[in-house]
Chain A
């Protein structure tokens, strides 16, 4: 009995650092956010308890719904090219020939650049007056006058930003897919070859099913990243035109900092957190099923 208790205490002692870390950096801030969402608090005045008023206000806030729906649309738009594109690049570069290694490196390099930096870079590339994109398109005769890529038309802006994010992020998925593809035992690939399977059949019936867990993992990471999109929209359009490209996180930022409405910002964050949690649960269930 004594030894059991002692070993439990030793076990707890081993766990303690990680437990304290989680309590301090995850549980406490989350609790603080929930607490804030029930208050009106500007940081420069004391917090005032308002109950569910922030949540009620959110339901009637057109800008909240606009940004929430836009974030979902952006996520739906950008996730397929990231997954399909990343997978195709992985298939093309999975084997280790020098040319493929170079391609892999070139595609991966943008991943190590910060999102803020890459957004600024693309902001200038897409500039109507000074941008290289318009210059190139004009020079090769594809357009007659510069296109206003950012902040004028919502669809054009969304397309331009999505293109810049695909450029920035696609290498991340590619690397994970390459790892998964290379982890397939060579016996399985050889057996499919002996059975006379074509390349397409090998990919669809052997490689894809065996890498499905990685596909789901990359999808989960992409979806979460897209639902939290901020930097690229903050830098490239600031939500324009007419707030049609404002993401949920951008709206949280605006309320929490420039507007100094921390309580409302916290309530908005809660909704975003619950949405991401819902997506994560679905993805995890799918992952478990694919594993089974």
Chain B
């Protein structure tokens, strides 16, 4: 009987505790607070970031913040790249989210649409830094005219070419190809050197590597790839077929190593530095990597071309920094963003480490002036784009997705290209229709 009498008290107490707990978890909502590059309040800031991205760069940025703000250091947790989306979703579903997080930029629209990121428009829209922030990043950081994040770091794709092999093949090492027919002609000459040398590189088993490097060839040729949302038409424009024909011809002509068929992304970053590839689409990160791997190799960087001379494009990848709904430190998360975009960090952290700055007006700095290759690759930011779709993983990045299936059929089968494109189009549309 006594136990029964205690029930209402216990229930009331539990509800009270739960209510108090919820009160304390309410994020700061002072929309008028002016963002600074320092702490708004003391205490550790938690941050999640994917481990497969540009870890060294993120480590440096966090270190720079922590040095400047010892009272509210960022505690960074890395999550395996392949598990990041699921982990964020689980965090959101369970209410266990960090104060801020780095997010592979192509997944941002999905989370923005689901209203799981904090709308930062009123806090950041007037920042002058945003006028020159990477366009690709800002495109996917925007959903229905609302802003949800700023660039954390940028990876752009470009054409890397081995000047030593150019010289051996009788090509001018200072004149990279400016169109795909020219690229094909150059590749033929380099492959003709024989031995283990090939003119070009295609990552045959890696969906992400291909959107990064073959996607821009299509964009530069006037094509559109992904279906943005329900009812949208993917794979539009003659450039799709032209580029597939170009890649098929390159494979059939023996301009790529047979082993490239098995490349699933694990060794993609090591291929150019091997010195056995004449030209290859890869990312800005490969400047440092190739130098470390093959210090004596002389190479150059150009923009990825399209079918007509002078056309070019690039994939702007990398991460955004966003604030998940449920963050308890929104004001400080915004301060971190302000810090990342500040002139000092852009030059003394990003540029000093020879990583791309995330603001185009910061490209002219002393570090890049001393490293022409970074200046060359930075031009990709101007012609680059980032796909905008709610189903990027399913359409493009998945090893089971229609993008890789289409490319593999084009590279390694004799199926009609029209049939291949039509099949991929159907699958991409079906995926987008479910979004």
* Chain A residues close to B by CB (< 8 Å): 42-45, 63, 123, 127-130, 145-146, 148-152, 237-243, 246, 251, 254, 256-260
**A157 to B, closest residue via Cβ:** B262
Residues B400 and A151 in contact, CB atoms below 8 Å apart:
no
CA distance A288 to B268 in the complex (A): 54
Interchain CB contact (< 8 A) of A242 among B89, B90, B262, B405: B405
For window 100-122 of B, CB contacts with A under 8 Å fall at 110-111, 114, 116
Contacts A148-B262, A151-B261, A238-B264 aside, 18 further interface pairs with beta carbons under 8 A come to A42-B114, A43-B93, A44-B92, A45-B114, A127-B262, A128-B258, A148-B261, A151-B262, A152-B204, A152-B205, A238-B399, A240-B408, A243-B399, A254-B400, A257-B86, A259-B393, A259-B394, A260-B110
**A130 to B, closest residue via Cβ:** B267
Indicate if B83 sits at the interface (CB-CB under 8 A).
yes
Set of chain B residues within 8 Å of A127, measured between Cβ atoms:
262, 267
Set of chain A residues within 8 Å of B408, measured between Cβ atoms:
240-242
Indicate if B178 sits at the interface (CB-CB under 8 A).
no
Residues A152 and B86 in contact, CB atoms below 8 Å apart:
no
26 A-B contact pairs sorted by A residue (CB < 8 Å)? A42-B89, A43-B89, A44-B88, A44-B92, A44-B93, A44-B114, A127-B262, A128-B258, A128-B259, A130-B267, A148-B258, A150-B262, A151-B264, A152-B204, A152-B205, A152-B261, A238-B399, A239-B399, A240-B205, A241-B408, A243-B399, A251-B400, A254-B398, A256-B86, A258-B85, A259-B394
CA distance A259 to B111 in the complex (A): 12
Known: A128-B259, A243-B405, A246-B400. A151 touches B89 (CB 8 A): no
Indicate if B82 sits at the interface (CB-CB under 8 A).
yes
**B260 to A, closest residue via Cβ:** A128
For window 252-268 of B, CB contacts with A under 8 Å fall at 258-259, 261-262, 264, 266-267
CA distance A148 to B257 in the complex (A): 11
Task: Quote the shortest CB–CB distance from A265 to chain B (angstroms).
Answer: 11
Most chain B beta-carbon contacts within 10 A, residue among A42, A254, A260: A260
**B261 to A, closest residue via Cβ:** A152
CA distance A214 to B205 in the complex (A): 42
Interface of A is mostly: loop
For window 57-116 of B, CB contacts with A under 8 Å fall at 82-83, 85-86, 88-90, 92-93, 110-111, 114, 116
CA distance A241 to B372 in the complex (A): 40
Interface of B is mostly: helix
CA distance A251 to B85 in the complex (A): 16
Residues B205 and A241 in contact, CB atoms below 8 Å apart:
yes
Task: Quote the shortest CB–CB distance from B115 to chain A (angstroms).
Answer: 8
**A62 to B, closest residue via Cβ:** B427
CA distance A130 to B82 in the complex (A): 24
Task: Quote the shortest CB–CB distance from B203 to chain A (angstroms).
Answer: 11
Known: A251-B400, A258-B393, A260-B89. A240 touches B114 (CB 8 A): no
CA distance A237 to B265 in the complex (A): 11
Residues A43 and B267 in contact, CB atoms below 8 Å apart:
no
CA distance A43 to B267 in the complex (A): 33
Set of chain B residues within 8 Å of A243, measured between Cβ atoms:
399-400, 405
Interchain CB contact (< 8 A) of A63 among B90, B116, B205, B400: B400
Task: Quote the shortest CB–CB distance from A233 to chain B (angstroms).
Answer: 10
Known: A44-B89, A258-B85. A146 touches B259 (CB 8 A): yes
Set of chain B residues within 8 Å of A149, measured between Cβ atoms:
262
Set of chain B residues within 8 Å of A238, measured between Cβ atoms:
205, 264, 399
Residues A44 and B116 in contact, CB atoms below 8 Å apart:
yes
Residues A151 and B394 in contact, CB atoms below 8 Å apart:
no
Set of chain B residues within 8 Å of A128, measured between Cβ atoms:
258-259, 262
Most chain B beta-carbon contacts within 10 A, residue among A239, A251, A257: A257
